[in-house]
Amino acid sequence: MRSQLTLLALDTSSEGCSAALLVNGQIHERFEVAPRGHTRLLMPMVRELLAGQGLVPGDLDALAFACGPGSFTGLRIATGVIQGLAFGLEIPVVPVSSLATVAAEVCGSSECSEGDGVAVAFDARMGEVYWGCFNNRNGVPVAAAEECVCAPELVALPEGTSRWLAVGSGWGYREQMPEAVTAAVGSCESSGVPRARYVAVLAEQIFRAGGGVPAEQAQPVYLRNTVTWQKLPGRQ
């Protein structure tokens, strides 16, 4: 029997804003599409989730957040909140790939079978996409290649997977992608966005496998080298 775990997960990496509370295997989530409302919505969501389960922040065992890639401003918001909570509560943080969270939703659907591939593309602006490829292993996305940011013309699928599903806003650039990629893809869903529910799902697995980092190591992943994260004042 698995030990009990109480974990709070956040996502502000896209136009969606969400928080999820994992309590003994059950997930409770608040989600809203609000491109400019993350700062206003996030902490009330957290307070509502905790109050709904009769919990206080001190009852949490771990924290998790979608660490990117994604909106630079959104990633800074979630990182700041997570770092503040983790420092104050002295509990570990599980950073989770935003691309993997979207793949997790697809892998858990009836449309995706064991061994299928999920190609996730986010619109990275500046004529580029954030690109991640995953294989479905027992309903869990397993990275099949290193995540990257590149022009749509440069995306590629790893060899060895016969069926691919496509998801994410970056597939709006489908006509610019190589024919070898578009020909290998079956269904395509361009509206998929990260959600804290799936951050929690993946974070639980990572945490139980011994993952998790201290607050100061909970950093966003931008993929673009030209963007840097400024740590909270007074922290090294």
Looking up residue 25, the CATH number of its domain turns out to be 3.30.420.40
* Selected residue with higher pLDDT from 3 and 178: 178
pLDDT mean over 2-14? 93
Taking Cα atoms as reference points, which of 115, 123, 118 lies closest to residue 103? 118
Q: Do the domain assignments include residue 74?
A: yes
Claim to verify: residue 126 and residue 165 sit in the same structural domain: yes
The number of distinct structural domains making up the chain is 2
Work out the number of other CB atoms within 10 angstroms of the CB of residue 21: 25
Same domain, 91 and 199: yes
Query: Quick one: pLDDT band at residue 92, thresholds 50, 70, 90?
Result: very high
Strand duo 16-23 + 26-33: pairing: antiparallel
- The boundaries of the domain holding residue 182 are 99-189
**pLDDT tens-digit map of 149-201:** 999 999 999 999 999 999 999 999 999 999 999 999 988 887 889 999 999 99
Distance between CA 206 and CA 235 in Å, rounded?
Answer: 26
